Amino acid sequence: MDMLGKYKTCVAARSTSSEILKSSQDGGIVTQMFIYALEEGIIDGAIVAGPGDEPWKPKPMVATTPEEILAARGTRYNISPNMAVIKESVRKYGLDKVGIVGTPCQMQALRKAQLYPVGMRYVTDKIALAMGIFCMENFSYQSMKQIVEDHCNVDLHSLKKTDIGKGKYWAYTNRGAVSQIPLKVTHKYEQPGCHVCLDYVANMGDISTGSVGSPDGWSTVFVRSTNGDNIWKKAVEAGVFEVKAIDSVKPGLDLVTKLATEKITKNQKELEHRAKMGVNKGLRNPYI
Partner 1 sequence: MSKVVEISPTTRHEGHSKLVLKVNDEGIIERGDWISITPVRGLEKLCIGKTMHQAPKISSRVCGICPIAHTLAGIGAMEASIGCEIPQDAYLLRLILQCANKLHSIALHDILALPDMYIPGTETKINPFTAEEPVRTVAKRIQRLREIGQTIGEIAGGEPVHPSNPRVGGMYYNISPQAKQKLFDLAKEALPMAIAQMDFMNAVFKNFEKRETVTVGKTTVDMPKEFGYHNQGYMAVDSIFQSSSLDFDPKWDPNRWTDVTPWDWYMGECEVSLEDPDYPIGGTSKIGTKAWPQMQACTSIPLYDGQPVEVGPRARMVTFKNFDHKGAMGQNIAREMEYPDCLYTIIDALDALDCNGSVLADEIPQGDGSLGWNANEAPRGTDVHLAKVKDGRVQMYNLLVPTTWNFPTCSRALEGAPWQLAEVIVRAYDPCVSCATHMLVVDENKKIIAQKLVQ
Binding site for partner 1 (CB under 8 A): 44-45, 64, 87-88, 90-96, 121-122
- Decide whether 39 or 272 has the Cβ nearer to partner 1: 39
- Decide whether 97 or 151 has the Cβ nearer to partner 1: 97
- Decide whether 39 or 96 has the Cβ nearer to partner 1: 96
* Least spacing, CB of residue 1 vs partner 1, in Å: 39
- Decide whether 6 or 92 has the Cβ nearer to partner 1: 92
- Decide whether 90 or 197 has the Cβ nearer to partner 1: 90
Query: For residues 158 and 39, what is the distance between their CA atoms, to the nearest angstrom?
Result: 33
* Least spacing, CB of residue 32 vs partner 1, in Å: 22
The alpha-helical segments, DSSP class H, found in 22-177 are 29-40, 66-70, 86-90, 104-115, 141-145
Do 49 and 80 contact (CB within 8 A), yes or no? Answer: yes
* Least spacing, CB of residue 122 vs partner 1, in Å: 6
* Least spacing, CB of residue 88 vs partner 1, in Å: 8
Output the CA torsion sign for 91, 97, 99, 105: positive
3-state secondary structure of 174: coil
Burial of 219 (0-12, 13-18, 19+ CB in 10 A): buried
* Least spacing, CB of residue 76 vs partner 1, in Å: 25
3-state secondary structure of 251: coil
- Decide whether 88 or 229 has the Cβ nearer to partner 1: 88
Q: Which residues contact 235 (CB under 8 A, 6 or more apart)?
A: 32, 33, 36, 37, 241
- Decide whether 97 or 258 has the Cβ nearer to partner 1: 97
Query: For residues 174 and 176, what is the distance between their CA atoms, to the nearest angstrom?
Result: 6
* Least spacing, CB of residue 63 vs partner 1, in Å: 12
* 111 CA to centre of own chain: 15
Do 214 and 12 contact (CB within 8 A), yes or no? Answer: yes
Q: Which residues contact 132 (CB under 8 A, 6 or more apart)?
A: 101, 102, 103, 104, 107, 201, 202, 203, 204, 205, 206, 207, 208, 209
* Least spacing, CB of residue 281 vs partner 1, in Å: 37
